[in-house]
Structure 1
């Protein structure tokens, strides 16, 4: 969900001749971009849309194993989080390894706000204004939704905005990332002690440990005792972001020829996209078993939720590895196709708007919840959501992203040094 609009998205290639592909040794150039990652955003968004349409059609319980697999397409959120971890942490890791100043936190947060808030605000206004189930929402409810606070104060999210728990997690990650990177890279102390990859790995292990403890201990202890939905707060998903940061660390280590013996296995895996996608499919199949809990609304046990969480982390990691390290070939040509990458560009608006569109589809057709019509619901929702996403991308996202160049105070500007 972090594809940018405007001149060039993060992770997008600047020219076809700079595809960002790793060389034969799995090394990536300093200025490399990754066009495949744009298309992976589209995969994640379409997976989330598909699982929501399947739920509304009642397909989870009406189609056996196939229905359970449809329910597990919420794995698209894991793909988003791993992508965000990679794309957003890499500038910090590269700066630390090159002994350059870290990215300015204020400018970074300004860009993140421009990236997510305008389309989100439009979606909130549409959902709260037009969906009948939200007619009783008061001023405080509107404020909570606009500030991405619903998961912290409400047990249920407003109709048409139930997918936004994941955006609240993303926003929380944006806020803590500068501090995490300061901890991982040593911050100002780099001048005294060189950047140590082992320190980064230690932080990543800590993030995974926090997630596991949150699933197994904190969530069962907090649910029903505190407001909101603690199982959908950032600590529960830190391990997914950690997978993305791990891939960013791999890139920086390979770029400098460090730890080759330890990084080579993951790089070789990423260079085999067919194997990675097959492994991801196998993990998804396993997650469709009772090991990962029920497919409908019955709560999973702590152990089931943890198993599902780890399986999804593996899926996200495997797919992002292919987006970074896959060599030139049929896979990268297909995922670097302009049409596929454009779907990635509009995928954030697609993610935000598809549930309000789904409400519209059900209202227009008169179809009832859990009453079938999966194909019809899916096709109509995809088509109308793509139209809405294209409009939002052109009318909201791109104009908002033009404000990225608004001057913000930086150390360089205060000393008269250009930041360009």
Structure 2
């Protein structure tokens, strides 16, 4: 099985899933700017699908849960000691904080220099820098200029919760087994759903000023509690369960190689991808929460489960993993964090200070929309590439004991555990 790349640092297919998640979110934001009623019927259908690209946010959580929990699963099943929390924290901080803080500071600088009025400014600054913005609707969006910041605090919450729950698993007796561990995490998943139900019961905001017509704060109030850090840990948990399943499959040895050669893992991963696409197609004319558990976004848990299946099967596949990890997807995955935290800022600045009708359903001419959106994609890739090589990569190297700003000859793709 030497050709199956399933060691603790490389997961075939993870780059592709990360790229799909990132590009889906960008496509969602760009497609919002095209006036749907002015388009031909076939294009309206395509746009309806593109508008559901925000579901890529769920994939980020599933992928993070999968990649970050695998070393814990591996240590548990091999009867090894609990992985170093110091190393875990250092690598998470190095991966998130430099790029995010710089982008947040740029947004704050623009707010002050352009005299942009901002509600709850200091509260949002404080929670933005401490990754606690996601606990109240007044702070959910740390910046009016860069909406996608909202998910960062949710991710950090999941980063904290996962190792704490894993630590409890390691403490539950000396006899370890996959069956015990997977049951433990299914129970944890159930408790997350219970906690999420209580969040809905106790923390649903009032209807006063609730809705996107009241601006970003009103939109955040409308989103919550359907969007909340506890609920999103459910998406993260599906990735954790997928990592556990993959860790168990890995131990099966020769039987797995036989199944791999017969194409069973390709069939499983391919079917999951097709079903995920069909789900998005089916939902294109339905409401956001018409197919979800507990009014959670992104067709939870079905969409997350399907990509969890992709992640656990791709490392054992013959062609699905290679297709997902094509060259373009691998590069996109490498700079995906920068793409995520920069693209919407450019959209906002173009709308406010360049092209006033580049707003929600504002552009009627498809060619003009393509030109503007293509420019957004181009400058987003440029900014993300610069951010990765100048700011993010050096700290990633530092977190692994290497000097800052010393480039290696080869770069691991983003499918690696950071």
Q: Take 1:58 and 1:238, find their aligned partners in 2: how far apart are those partners?
A: 35
Quote the residue 1:347 is aligned against. Answer: 336
1:96 CA displacement: 1.1
TM-score by length of 2: 0.77
Q: Does 1:167 align with 2:152?
A: yes
Change (3 A) 1:313 1:287: farther
SS of the equivalent of 1:309 reads coil
**1:150 correspondence with 2:126:** no
Alignment of 1:107-256 (within 5 A): 107-131=87-111, 134-136=116-118, 138-155=121-138, 157=141, 158-184=143-169, 186-187=170-171, 193-213=174-194, 216=197, 218-224=199-205, 229-256=224-251
- Is 1:276–1:318's contact at 8 Å kept on the other side of the alignment? yes
- The answer to which of 121-130 and 42-51 deviates more is 121-130
CA deviation after TM superposition for structure 1 residue 214, in Å: 5.1
Q: In the TM superposition, what is the alpha-carbon distance from 1:235 to its structure 2 partner?
A: 1.4
Shift of 1:65: 4.1
CA separation in 2, counterparts of 1:33 and 1:405? 16
Looking at structure 1, the residues matched to 239 and 297 of structure 2 have their Cα atoms a distance apart, in angstroms, of 19
Preserved CA contact (<8 Å) 2:293 2:300 = no
Q: Report the CA distance between 1:93 and its aligned residue.
A: 0.9
Q: 1:95-126 deviations in whole A, cap 9, x for unaligned?
A: 11111111111220111011101100111112
Cα root mean square deviation, aligned: 3.4
Residues 1:307 and 1:81: Cα distance change in structure 2 (over 3 Å) = closer
Per-residue CA distance 1:379-406 (angstroms, 9 max, x = gap): 1221110000000001110122232145
Q: Which segment is superposed worse, 246-255 or 284-293?
A: 284-293
Structure 1: segments with no counterpart, 5+ residues: 1-16, 22-27, 295-299, 408-420
Q: Does 220-229 or 165-174 show the bigger shift?
A: 220-229
Q: Helix, strand or coil for the counterpart of 1:369?
A: coil
CA distance in 2: counterparts of 1:143 and 1:307, whole angstroms: 29
Deviates more, 1:305-314 or 1:271-280: 305-314
What is the rounded CA distance, in whole Å, between the counterparts of 2:94 and 2:149 in structure 1? 17
**CA apart distance, 1:220:** 4.9
Q: 1:178 to 1:219 in 2, by over 3 A?
A: same
Q: Structure 1's 337 and 387: CA in aligned 2 closer, same or farther, altered over 3 A?
A: same
Give the alignment partner of residue 79 of structure 2, picking from 91, 99, 103: 99
* Alpha-carbon offset, residue 269 of structure 1: 5.1
Q: Is 2:315 the partner of 1:319?
A: no
Change (3 A) 1:20 1:256: closer
The count of aligned residue pairs is: 369
Deviations 1:137-186 (A, max 9, x none): 644432222222222244352223321222111101111111111223x3
Structure 2 unaligned regions, length at least 5: 208-219, 403-418
Q: Determine whether 1:395 maps to 2:390.
A: yes
Matched, 1:364 2:354: yes
* 2:28 corresponds to 1:51: yes
CA distance in 2, matches of 1:381, 1:106: 38
2:67 pairs with 87, 93, 97, which one? 87
> Does the CA contact (< 8 Å) of 1:60 and 1:68 recur in 2?
no
Aligned match for 1:39, one of 16, 19, 31: 16
Does structure 1 conserve the Cα–Cα contact (< 8 Å) formed by 2:28 and 2:50? yes
CA contact (8 A) 1:127 1:134 kept: no
TM-score by length of 1: 0.77
